[in-house]
């Protein structure tokens, strides 16, 4: 089995689990390839990874059976861009904080590896949001797992986002911005702005305004088979466009459209991985000091 590994820095408490992971992979004679940046971090941190094979995050990873993402949800979003349309299954190991996407706890890493080698897992396919624009914004990575956002720059006042649904005018959002979220991203930025939570397999986008001037403008759910298009007005003449954690300043003359990407991200789901359990755990549903 050939496994790619990508991650970020980790607390000292996670070191034994990460070291144990590499030792377990060596014991099982797995071929390991590590992202260049993470390899440098592991070397500086003194973690023995037993691998000389690296991959460039610019070119992405190929010819592997799985990719391990060690960190929080942000690290897993990075891994999605490393995989792109190659459909490599991604396993999120939660060494971060909240973790709606990265669901494997460090103490469970050995059990997770055992499940992979014994085929005791399923694949959870997640839809992606794809962005097209009249000017190249996101280069070779015009897709994201969580959301696409249009927001004002730090120095500008509110912006107006004229929004069209399948070519028909929908609304002009006078706000700090607008979020187009996938079901996977419904527990992210959209949720903090009042958007609903969607089950991961729902075939929808969420349109969530950010601090709208008109209080009667509410989040809206639309089918992900539609195409959304945007024209932005801003006193500063520009705005910020972001796909997951990648953001760029864009001129208001640029026209942008959003639709479901042609390929999906494939997340590994273990037998004890349940989205409803994750919601209850992370959002403290059902917990009340009165009870």
Quick: pLDDT tens for 116-126.
999 999 999 99
Q: pLDDT at residue 96 above 80?
A: no
Quick: pLDDT tens for 180-225.
999 999 999 999 999 999 999 999 999 999 999 988 999 999 999 9
Task: Kindly give, in sequence order, each residue whose CB lies less than 8 Å from that of residue 64, ignoring residues fewer than 6 positions away.
Answer: 2, 3, 4, 33, 88
Quick: pLDDT tens for 35-77.
999 999 999 999 999 999 999 999 999 999 999 999 999 999 9
State the pLDDT at residue 20: 96
Cα angle vertex 175, ends 169, 176, to 5°? Answer: 130
Q: Can you read off the two tokens belonging to residue 53?
A: 């094979």
Burial of residue 128, with CB atoms counted within 10 A of its CB: 0-12 exposed, 13-18 middle, 19 or more buried: buried
pLDDT band for 283, please (50, 70, 90 cuts).
confident
Catalytic sites, residue numbers: 73
State the pLDDT at residue 281: 82
Q: pLDDT at residue 227 above 90?
A: yes
The 3-state secondary structure of 94-148 reads ECCCCCCCCCECHHHHHHHHHHHHCCCEEEEEECCEEEEECCCCCCCCCEECCEE
* 168-175, strands of its sheet edge to edge: 143-144, 129-133, 256-260, 228-233, 159-165, 168-175
Quick: pLDDT tens for 242-277.
999 899 999 999 999 999 999 999 999 998 888 888
Quick: pLDDT tens for 99-137.
789 989 999 999 999 999 999 999 999 999 999 999 999
């Amino acid at each position: 089995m050939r496994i790619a590994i990508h991650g970020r820095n980790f607390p000292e408490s996670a070191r034994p689990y990460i070291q144990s992971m590499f030792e377990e992979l060596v014991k099982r004679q797995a071929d390991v390839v590590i992202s260049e940046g993470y390899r440098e971090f592991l070397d500086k941190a003194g973690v023995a990874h037993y691998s000389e094979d690296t991959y460039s995050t610019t070119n992405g990873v190929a010819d592997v059976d799985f990719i391990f993402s060690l960190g929080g949800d942000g690290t897993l979003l990075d891994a999605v861009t490393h995989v792109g349309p190659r459909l490599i299954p991604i396993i999120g190991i939660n060494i971060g904080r909240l973790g709606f996407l990265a669901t494997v706890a460090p103490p469970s890493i050995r059990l997770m590896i055992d499940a992979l080698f014994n085929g005791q897992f399923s694949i959870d396919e997640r839809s992606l949001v794809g962005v097209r624009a009249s000017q190249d914004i996101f280069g070779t990575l015009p897709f994201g797992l969580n959301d696409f956002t249009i927001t004002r720059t730090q120095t500008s006042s509110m912006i107006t986002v004229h929004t069209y649904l399948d070519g028909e005018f929908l609304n002009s959002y006078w706000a700090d911005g607008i979020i187009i979220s996938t079901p996977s991203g419904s527990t992210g930025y959209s949720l903090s702005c009042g958007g609903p939570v969607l089950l991961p397999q729902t075939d929808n986008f969420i349109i969530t305004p950010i601090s709208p001037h008109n209080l009667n403008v509410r989040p809206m759910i639309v089918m992900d088979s539609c195409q959304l298009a945007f024209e932005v007005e801003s006193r500063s003449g520009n705005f910020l466009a972001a796909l997951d954690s990648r953001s760029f300043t864009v001129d208001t003359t640029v026209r942008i459209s959003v639709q479901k990407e042609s390929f999906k991200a494939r997340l590994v789901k273990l037998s004890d991985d349940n989205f409803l359990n994750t919601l209850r755990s992370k959002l403290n549903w059902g917990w009340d000091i009165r009870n």
